[in-house]
């Protein structure tokens, strides 16, 4: 029998934004879809799996190196940025604010929420732009928190 637990993350939007830091991961990631579950990569090669509608398959996020080594068709070469604040799964608006700021900079983003952290997959070549936007957002909110 499973039991529900209280999530340890922060729910205050102002605190999340004022303490926001980010880490860039070195790998290039890609998105692929597999219709045959028997062809899923080994777990050690998977960043994320998501079951789409039955007829569409399973979305896989993996490294470009792995995808190319096994001949997997992929899209959206990207870099992963981890937002280092521990956000609650119940936090309202945090990812929306970050994604909106990145959109204003002309950047698409694919956000993924893990249990402890949120992760952003941003277009390859735009990762430094994304980090700058995130840093500026955090600085604005730090100044507002002190005011």
Contact 2, 133 (CB under 8 A): no
Whether 133 maps to a domain, the answer reads yes
Q: What pTM does this model have?
A: 0.91
Cβ contacts of residue 59 below 8 Å, gap of 6+? 31, 32, 33, 48, 49, 50, 51, 52
Whether 62 maps to a domain, the answer reads yes
Whether 109 maps to a domain, the answer reads yes
Whether 3 maps to a domain, the answer reads no
Whether 68 maps to a domain, the answer reads yes
pLDDT in tens, the chain (147 residues): 777 777 678 888 999 999 999 999 999 999 999 999 889 999 999 999 999 987 899 999 999 999 999 999 999 999 999 999 999 888 899 999 999 999 999 999 999 999 899 999 999 999 999 999 999 999 999 888 887
Three-state SS for 99?
helix
Check which CATH number belongs to the domain holding 136 and give it.
3.30.2130.10
State the total domains in the chain: 1
């Amino acid at each position: 029998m499973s039991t529900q637990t209280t999530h340890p993350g922060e729910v205050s939007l102002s605190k999340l934004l004022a303490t926001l830091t980010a880490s860039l991961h070195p790998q290039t990631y890609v998105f692929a879809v597999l219709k045959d579950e028997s062809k899923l990569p080994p777990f050690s090669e998977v960043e994320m799996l998501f079951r789409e509608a039955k007829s569409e398959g399973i979305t896989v996020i993996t490294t470009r190196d792995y995808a190319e080594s096994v001949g997997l068709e992929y899209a959206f070469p990207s870099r992963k940025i981890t937002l280092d604040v521990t956000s609650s799964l119940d936090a309202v608006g945090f990812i929306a604010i970050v994604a909106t700021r990145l959109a204003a900079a002309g950047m698409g983003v694919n956000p993924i929420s893990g249990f402890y952290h949120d992760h952003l997959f941003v277009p390859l070549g735009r990762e430094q732009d994304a980090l700058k936007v995130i840093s500026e957002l955090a600085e604005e909110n730090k100044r507002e928190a002190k005011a």
